[in-house]
Structure formats: C-alpha cells, structure tokens
Structure 1
Amino acid sequence: MGKQKLWTKDFINISLSNFFVFLTFYYLLVTLPVYSLNELHTTKLEAGLVVTVFLFSAIIIRPFAGQWIEAKGKRKILLLSLFIFMGGSFFYFIPDSIISLLVLRFLHGIGFGMATTAAGAIVADLIPESRKGEGMGYFVMSTNLAMVIGPFVGLTALNKAGIYLVFIISVFCAVLAFITGCFINNPKLIQTVVRQGTLSIKKKLTIQDLIEVSALRIAIVSAFLGFIYASILSFVSVFAQEINLLEVSSFFFVVYAVILILSRPFTGKWFDLYGANKIIYPAIICFAVGMAVLGISKSALVFLIAAALIGLGWGTLFPSFQTIAIQNAAPNRRGTATATFLSIYDLGVGIGSSLVGMISAKIGLGSFYLYSSVYVLIGIILYYFIHDKNTRLLLKEKRTEVPSQNAG
C-alpha cells in the first residue's frame, strides 16, 4: 500500500487559514497594549486586560463551539467563526476608550475561539490516520510561524507608520483567513452535518456534551507546561532588555522557528513510528534545559542557544499533546476534544501570563527562568502518572482480553 497523501488542497488551505488567524492574534497581541498605553492612556493593568479579556472569551466559547461543530458541521462553524473574526478586525478603528476596546476584544475572542476549535477538528479529519503525528506537527507549525512573523510585523508597522497601518494590516490578514477557509470543500466535512444534524438539538445539553473526557488528561499536562511557555511569550523581550540584549530579542523567535521547521519532518514521523513517549520525554528534558540556559544567559550566543532548545522542546511537545487529545477521542467527538484541549491549555497560558509577572517581580526574570527548568522536569512525573501510566494499563488490559477471547 502506498503512503497516504498528507498535503492535499484542503490541508494546505486549513493550515493557511489557521496561519492568518494566529498571525492576526499575535500581531495584535504585541501592538494593542502599546496602543492602549500611548493612545488611550490606560494603566499597565488595563493594558494587560486587552490580552486577558480576549483569551477569556476564547476559553468560554470553545466548549460550546465543539458542540455546535458536532450539531451543525465543521465547515459551517469554521466559516461562521472566520466571518466573526474578520468582522471584528474592521472595528478596531472605532474604540476611543479602554471600555469599548475591551468589549471589542471580548467579541473578537469569540471568533478566535470558535475558529481555532473548528480548524483543529477539521485538520484531524483531513490528516490520514497513519500520519497523524506528522500532519499535526506541520499544522501547528503554521501557528508557530505566525508567532514569529506577527510580533515582528506588528511592532515594525507601529513604529514606522503608527496604529492606523496596524489596523489595516490586521484587517488584511483576517480577510485572507476567511478566503482560504472558503476553499476547504472536503466531502467528509459536509457529510458530517447530514449524519449528526438534528441529534443534539433534541436532547438537553449536558456537561458531557461540552467536555471530551478523553482529552482532559493530556490537556492538564499541556496547561501545566503552558504556564512556563507563557513566560516566554510575555516576558522574553523584557528579560532581553534587562541583560542588555534588546537588539537580539527579535531574533529569539526567529531561531525558535528555524529549529522548529528543521526538526518538524523528523519529530512528527518519529511520533507516528515509535509512539508518543519516545518523543515526549526527551522533548520535556530539552525544554527544561532550554529554560535553564535562558536563565543564565548573559551573551547573545547563549540567549539564542536557549531559543533553539526551547524551540525543539516545546515546539515538539505542543503538537504531540494535541495529537494525543484528538487520537483518544471518537471521530464524531474530535471537535469537542479540540475545544477541551485548547480551552484548558489557554487557561494555563492565561494564568501563567498573570502570575509570572508577579513572581518575577520578587525574584527577577533570570532566576524565574532558571528555577522554571525544575518545574518543567516535574512535567515528566505529571505526564507519566496522568497519561502514560493510564495508557499502559489500558494496553495491558487489551492484551489480556485477546487471549481470553481466543480461548473462548
């Protein structure tokens, strides 16, 4: 049998749509707090709420989005969410106060939460079963690339031309996300509506409908480690300024992305060939070493070596965790599994973004990054007891069932 095809037109389009959604997200993530401080004259706490409110609305909408996906179909919810996300981008020209900006951010976050949930469910259907780890790795790489390009383009546009150009570019990116999403026409995604259309409308909505239990274990592990990843997203440039490496800070995520791209063809395939554990345990160690190296960074070389190690470690862990969450769910529950996984993960990142600032104010960012390497290593224990041990027990039970059935 030939190798199942991964790079289909639909897979490319969903990856591109996901890229432009996250490009808009990261682009606004770094520019709106600056805009709110300088133009709306807010406090730093209010500027931080610009990010928090967006993530909060995305988190609370995701469980419902997973249910809507099962009831109405993946493609329909994707296009609706991309339309909401695109529409929200047009309104950033209007707010003249922090309150109106926060209202817009809440509404924009709803579109983001729905879109990312639908995209995750769609790509799980499009990737062949034999290439799940590889395919999910490439899909998540579109997010990682957006994380590198978005802040660079956003800060460049803000510094060179001002906030008006920033908002124009965000509209352009959101429109591209919607257009590429419209070109996804896989028959499997349309047939889902016919099979599941009226089922969930007739019964009362329960907590089991909103949360996929099989995704909870690995989602908790991802949130635990996402707490530390949040410190990279939010404070690595601040740390670079503290150690007089501000001019090098823009290259941190460039190195991160380069290592990610170079390693992705191997790590995804190894996941499919050898299983999750052979990838996840070494990746956690690599992530921990990267955090320790970052904590002791005093030169540009050491700082960028840390970026490479973190890119290889966390850049391998996140798509692996998301693949596990999707594989453990029934095909018709992949939308809910994606929503459950991303909601809990975002909760970890959101809490991390808030607490890291408080902790680092007491002990310093360098010490925080150094000590966080021990925290990341604890993730090995958490992963083993929450996911790995349970998986081994289930496999053992299946193996003992087979001989008994044969004997009967």
Structure 2
Amino acid sequence: MDGHANGYANGRVKSSPIFTSGFVRLFACNLFLVVIYFLLMTTMALHAATLYGVDSALAGLTASVFLVGGIAGRVVCVRLECRFSLRQIGLAFLALQTVAVALYFMEFVGISFLLAVRLLHGVAFGVANTVVPALAIDGLPAGRLGEGTGYFMLSNTLGIGIGPLMSVLIVVGIDYSVLFSICLVLSALSLVLLRTYREPAAAKGRPIASIRARKAPIVDSSTVKFSFFMFLIAFAYSSINAFVESYADELGLGLFAPFVFLVYAAVLLLIRPVTGKLMDRYGEDVILYPSIASMGAGLILVAFARDPLSLLACGVFMATGFGTCMSVGQAAAVKISTSSSTSLTVSTFFILCDAGCGIGPFVLGFLVSGCGYEAMYVACALIAFATTIYYRLIR
C-alpha cells in the first residue's frame, strides 16, 4: 500500500498544510493551462471555417486532433518519466506549448499547418496536464488527499468558467490575434511558475525507479477498471459539452446556454472543498453514489427542459454530478493505486476520461440524427444510472 493509502488507513485527517507556496504555483499553472485549452477549443473550429473557408467537418478536426494529441501526450509522459523528473518533463513540454501557441499567428500557411499545430499543442498539453496535477497530488498530506485534490481541481473549475466566456468576448469584440497573444502570455507564465517550483525531495527519483523496474507500463493496471467507470461518466457528460448549445437553440433558449457552464463552475467552487473533506473522513463511496444519481437526474432534466430555469438547473446537477465525480474520482484512483508513480495513475485516469469525452459526441451525434435531442439525453441519463451497477461490481 502506498503513502496515500496509509493516510487513510490510520483513520485520521492530518493537519499538515495544503496551501504551500508550491501548491499555489501549481494551482495557478494548471489554471492557465485550462484557460488556454478553453480559449482555443471553443473558437478554433469557427476560426478555421472563417479563415480558410473549409466545411464544418474539416473545421471540427481542429478539436479532434488536439484531443488525439492530448491522449498521446499522456502516454509520452509515462515513457519519459523513465529518464527524467516530472518537473523536467513539465518544463520541456510547457516550453513546447509556448512554441505551439506562437505558431498560431502563422495564419497564412493554411489549414494543414493549423491542424499540425493543433496536434503538437495537444501533445504538449497532454503531458503538462498530467505532470502538474501529479506534482500537486504528490505534495499533499496523505490524510488530506481528497480535500487537497478538491482544492486543486478548482483550477479546472475556474478555467471552465473563465475560458469560454473570455473567448466569446475577445473574438466578438476584438480579434483572434489578441486571443493568441493572451494564450501566449498565459503559456509563458505557466512555464515561469513551474520553473520556480521546487519538487519535494521525497518525490525525486521515486517514480523513475519504480517504472524502470516495471519496464515502463503505459497505464496503471491497478486503476484501469476504476478509470473505465470515469470513461462511462465522461461519455454521458459529453452530451452536455457537445450538444447543449445547439439543443438550447432548437428550444429557443440559446441565449441561456453559455450560462449553464457558469452555473456549473460557481456551484463547484462552493462544494469542492466540502466533498473533499467528506471523502477524507468517510471514503469516496459516500460521495460517488449520490453524484452519479445527481448526474442522471440532471440529464433527465435537460432532456425535458422547456424554460431557462430548467436549463440552468442542469448546471447545478452536472456540478454535483460529473464535476464531483472528476475530483473525487481522481483522488480515489490515486488512493487505490498500487503504483508508486502518481503521474502514471493520473495519466490512466485522464486517458479514459478524454476518450469518453472524445468518443461521446461522435457516437451520440448519430443518436441525435436518428432520434432527436430528448432521446439522446434520456439515453445518456440511463448510461449514467447504469454506472452505479458497474461501480458496485468493481468495488
């Protein structure tokens, strides 16, 4: 049993501080990463279609190739950890991300070049977004893993709330060159923050020795079953990310769709610290079962939404559902893992989450075409409820 699990075994929540200077640096670094992700993910398809006159399918590849690059980056991170420390890997790929963002200014080259840059950026993001959370989790007091992970995941929450809104304001009110400039500054700041971070002495070299002994596995086999649970949750949630705006437009509620994500972020800011403490005290099952129920209820609600209040309430249910599953699930994966490499566990967790978010819209799109939005959201609610059975079986 690793150090994190030992913190649970003694049944006490230790009083060691969470908000060290290193934790704050990593929090800000991850926040900037997530803001960059959403600034570009929500605008690049429109940018490609407008600038190069390509159809929606080709423009949509700007998102797909980024996600493919992100998954590849998480695998690359695990391989590189055989030879380098997490901090060294993070610095190298944050520098690569900064280069990739700078290349967005070369709009005159063409759509093929843009897709190549998106792929490169995806790889850099995938590595950095594995390294930074792993470093933060490694530095947490063992008995406050759930609470500390919950606080750290607020950086994702803030990014989800800030990024899409900023992108709309910048692109509509100004232009893409300003958008790219902001991303470039944020990427450079992320690099500086990690450069000034000092990895705890106890963490140096520990994962490297372990992975060498195991001949560098690509995934953490001890958490694959649990991470597949998150694949199913992410698959169902992708219906919100991909289709809630177009569904709202169909209902005549398009004006309110962006505020679903603001409600989602605001609710998570309130509940994340509480859910983390509850997990540390009572275990993850106390949180995850109600969260699954909340997510299923939220998907049913959006399926039959006919007014702004119902649509916005979906953001509340998704926050207490999917948002809570993400933070508690990540902490639980680290807790149950038998690997000494936190980055391997985090990589496995996010590979399957990313796969769910990436595959979901493609599969669910056929369901929308054949049966409509309502049927698709009901189907996703049933998937969410069914994960309760799967989770029970693997526990």
Shift of 1:170: 1.5
Superimposed CA distance per residue, residues 70-122 of structure 1 (whole angstroms, 9 cap, x where no aligned partner): 53111111111111111111110114322111100111111101101111221
Q: Does 1:73 align with 2:81?
A: no
For 1:180 and 1:367, how far apart are their aligned partners in 2? 46
For 2:373 and 2:191, how far apart are their aligned partners in 1? 39
Could you tell me which amino acid in structure 1 is paired with residue 150 of structure 2? G
Superimposed CA distance per residue, residues 19-64 of structure 1 (whole angstroms, 9 cap, x where no aligned partner): 1011101110011001011111111111111111011011123123
Q: Is the 8 A contact 1:71 1:196 kept in 2?
A: no
Q: Does 1:184 align with 2:183?
A: no
For 2:117 and 2:240, how far apart are their aligned partners in 1? 26
Identify which of 259, 263, 274 aligns with 1:266: 274
Residue of structure 1 equivalent to 2:34:
22
Larger radius of gyration: 1
Identify which of 324, 327, 335 aligns with 2:343: 335
Shift of 1:239: 1.4
Give me the CA root mean square deviation.
1.9
Q: Does 1:175 align with 2:188?
A: yes
Residue of structure 2 equivalent to 1:397:
none
Shift of 1:350: 0.7
Closer, same or farther in 2 for the Cα pair 1:361/1:197, shift >3 Å? closer
For 2:143 and 2:14, how far apart are their aligned partners in 1? 11
TM-score by length of 2: 0.92
Shift of 1:366: 2.7
For 1:330 and 1:249, how far apart are their aligned partners in 2? 42
Closer, same or farther in 2 for the Cα pair 1:37/1:2, shift >3 Å? closer
User: Residue 332 of structure 1 aligns to a residue in which SS?
Assistant: coil
User: Residue 43 of structure 2 aligns to a residue in which SS?
Assistant: helix
For 2:260 and 2:174, how far apart are their aligned partners in 1? 24
The gaps in structure 1 that reach 5 residues or longer are 389-408
For 2:128 and 2:339, how far apart are their aligned partners in 1? 19
Identify which of 96, 110, 122 aligns with 1:109: 122
Shift of 1:265: 1.9
User: Residue 42 of structure 2 aligns to a residue in which SS?
Assistant: helix
Identify which of 189, 193, 217 aligns with 1:209: 217
Q: Is the 8 A contact 1:11 1:126 kept in 2?
A: yes
Shift of 1:136: 0.8
Residue of structure 2 equivalent to 1:218:
226
Residue of structure 2 equivalent to 1:126:
139
Q: Is the 8 A contact 1:26 1:150 kept in 2?
A: yes
Task: List, as ranges, runs of 4+ consecutive aligned residues in structure 1 with deviation greater than 4 Å.
Answer: 195-201
Count of residue pairs brought into register by the alignment: 382
For 1:270 and 1:65, how far apart are their aligned partners in 2? 32
For 2:217 and 2:372, how far apart are their aligned partners in 1? 43
Q: Is the 8 A contact 1:295 1:367 kept in 2?
A: yes
Could you tell me which amino acid in structure 1 is paired with residue 30 of structure 2? N
Identity of matched residues, % = 26
Q: Does 1:287 align with 2:299?
A: no
Residue of structure 2 equivalent to 1:99:
112
Shift of 1:380: 0.2
The gaps in structure 2 that reach 5 residues or longer are 1-12
Q: Which has the higher helix share?
A: 1
User: Residue 104 of structure 2 aligns to a residue in which SS?
Assistant: helix
Q: Is the 8 A contact 1:228 1:352 kept in 2?
A: yes
For 2:393 and 2:14, how far apart are their aligned partners in 1? 38
Could you tell me which amino acid in structure 2 is paired with residue 170 of structure 1? C
Shift of 1:357: 2.1
For 1:102 and 1:328, how far apart are their aligned partners in 2? 38
Identify which of 346, 349, 357 aligns with 2:354: 346
For 1:358 and 1:86, how far apart are their aligned partners in 2? 37
